[in-house]
Structure 1
Amino acid sequence: MSDSGSITALRRAAKRIVRSDRFRWLSAPARRVWYYWRTVGELKNVPLVLSALSGDMRQRTPAELIDLIFIRFDGMLRPFQNKHELQRFIERVAAIKPKTVVEIGTARGGSLFLLSCVSDPNARLVSIDLPAGLYGGGYPAWKGFIFRRFVGRSQTLHLIRGDSHKEATFDKTVNALNDSPVDVLFIDGDHSYEGVKKDYLRYRTLVRPGGLIVFHDILESKIDKDITVAPLWREIAHDYHTEEIVDSYDQGQFGIGILTAPQSWENRKANAA
């Protein structure tokens, strides 16, 4: 088995243990060990990241930026995504220059950095992440210092560390938006059917008509059976106008789905009011 295959198998085993009632007492210490192990490996790259951010890094094309975060810094910022799909997604976002972006699932921060680079120079960005999340998220608090240097000088970034399913987290998001309608909502946190559906139904209320609601991992996963976004995506794609960004339908993981928020949602909210 390759190193990447071994790591994937280990992650899957860890998820099963953490979710099991029998081993629930292991959850907190296991996640703390993961935090510390990852932090030791990443701290050595902090000076390199800060140096790159102080230069002209943000001025590069989406393709150049993606190459950079996939190749440099020992993967510290590398997203859990297909590189070609990510580029097409970022180019799609760049075409509308969003003024307000909400991301659920900060993880390593790579997608947050890319979104900030292609958003409006005065954009407001909100990124939500669950500490010790099961799907690659849960960045340590010290990384917030790095993430805050991702954004442009006139952009605003709000980092919310909490469970996106909790009412308190949603309220923090609403407060951070300050009545600004969301142009791009990127859902990439909880990857279970139930979890993604909760995020979708709750946070879509913040998206303007014509805004983009973006889902990651819309393909059936052959790598991790706990990733069950695909069934929800099929339901959504059946009911609404959607786009799919997929490198290959045989790849067995990843895939990005884009839903354009319909005007009917706004009409429904107005009638309810």
Structure 2
Amino acid sequence: MIEKAVSSYKENGLSHLVAKGPRYLLNQMLSMLVSLPIIDHIFFWYSTRDLEGRMKEEQNLSDILDTTGTYFDPQGEYRGAGAYKSLQPIQTREEISEMAERAKSNQPSTVIEIGSAKGGTAYIWSRYLDTAETILCLDMNFNGREKLFDYFASYSGKQIFCLEGNSHADRTKNRVEEILSGEQIDFLYIDGDHSYQGVKSDFEMYKPLMSNEGIIGMHDVENQNTGVPEFWSELEQEYDCEKIPQEGESGVTGLVKINES
């Protein structure tokens, strides 16, 4: 903190340091406080108590989405704290609801998602996909939230693995294959790197691990600010593809049916 203060003084002068210094110092102190194990333990305890109450009340998919909230909806009814503050997914309610229904109808045993964000989609798969036994979550940084994933998955009778790192790395794929132990993926949800090469790499790397009747969900297939639409147009030429919902500039997931004999 002292080094940053000296640097700020040299770059911006004393008046800037005096104006910004107290706020910066307070933010740094709060960050240090929150990172203390005892504080994190309290936040986790509080968050799981709130979440357990919600899970006991959930009867259907609508209830589950009420717990998490969705992208354009108000915050969900779950109220966590610290690193566990929210489970809000980045999909619209219509989009993720339809995707969950399609996934459920396919009766998946093994689920993998690439890009977990706050944990909203992992929560939905854990709570709604009754046949799912194993869920693998791949993300660049879980920010210490893995134990919340473990908590709601275990409560739902699922085994969950949070793999932190680049989904395109060979060591990540090797770890996935190690966990699968010969089992195949029934449902793959891709919502990580949104560049053309990124989404293409995720598809090509994990598609060979899919079961013959598996399905792949791919977020943002109409978001022109990403490289996903370009790759999606290529997939439409080769696979049985469908958009959920049918239109919209954002909040559209592409569904790919493998159907290989």
TM norm. shorter chain > 0.5: yes
Conserved? CA contact 2:122–2:137, under 8 Å: yes
Match of 1:98 in 2: 108
Note the C-alpha offset of 1:122.
5.9
Match of 1:145 in 2: 147
Match of 2:223 in 1: 220
AA aligned opposite 1:156: Q
Note the C-alpha offset of 1:54.
2.8
AA aligned opposite 1:187: I
Q: Which has the higher mean CA deviation after the structures are superposed, 115-124 or 162-171? A: 115-124
Conserved? CA contact 2:108–2:131, under 8 Å: no
Sort the Cα spacing of 1:116 and 1:241 in 2 relative to 1 into closer, same or farther, 3 A. Answer: same
Match of 2:239 in 1: 240
Q: Whole-Å Cα distance in 2 between the matches of residues 183 and 108 of structure 1?
A: 23
1:171 aligns with 2:174: yes
Q: Whole-Å Cα distance in 1 between the matches of residues 111 and 132 of structure 2?
A: 11
Q: Whole-Å Cα distance in 2 between the matches of residues 158 and 205 of structure 1?
A: 20
Root-mean-square deviation (CA), in Å? 2.5
Sort the Cα spacing of 1:122 and 1:243 in 2 relative to 1 into closer, same or farther, 3 A. Answer: closer
Give ranges in structure 2 of 5+ residues lacking alignment: 1-27, 70-75
AA aligned opposite 1:255: V
Q: Whole-Å Cα distance in 2 between the matches of residues 172 and 48 of structure 1?
A: 32
AA aligned opposite 2:66: D
Note the C-alpha offset of 1:112.
0.3
Q: Find 2:187's aligned residue among 184, 188, 206.
A: 184
Match of 1:267 in 2: none
SS across alignment from 1:186: strand
Greater Rg by CA: 2
Q: Whole-Å Cα distance in 1 between the matches of residues 92 and 132 of structure 2?
A: 29
Sort the Cα spacing of 1:121 and 1:248 in 2 relative to 1 into closer, same or farther, 3 A. Answer: closer
Conserved? CA contact 1:53–1:149, under 8 Å: no
Q: Find 1:193's aligned residue among 196, 201, 212.
A: 196
1:262 aligns with 2:226: no
Sort the Cα spacing of 1:65 and 1:247 in 2 relative to 1 into closer, same or farther, 3 A. Answer: farther
Conserved? CA contact 2:110–2:132, under 8 Å: no
Match of 2:52 in 1: 54
* Percent of aligned pairs sharing the same letter: 26
Conserved? CA contact 2:108–2:187, under 8 Å: yes
Give ranges in structure 1 of 5+ residues lacking alignment: 1-32, 131-137, 265-273
Q: Whole-Å Cα distance in 2 between the matches of residues 76 and 122 of structure 1?
A: 23
Q: Whole-Å Cα distance in 1 between the matches of residues 65 and 244 of structure 2?
A: 16
Q: Find 1:107's aligned residue among 117, 128, 136.
A: 117
Note the C-alpha offset of 1:48.
4.8
Q: Whole-Å Cα distance in 1 between the matches of residues 161 and 124 of structure 2?
A: 16
Note the C-alpha offset of 1:243.
1.7
**TM norm structure 2:** 0.74
Structure 1 residue runs of 4 or more that deviate by more than 3 Å after TM superposition: 43-49
Matched residue pairs, number?
214
SS across alignment from 1:263: coil
Conserved? CA contact 1:121–1:155, under 8 Å: no
**TM norm structure 1:** 0.71
SS across alignment from 2:218: strand
AA aligned opposite 1:66: L
Match of 1:128 in 2: 138
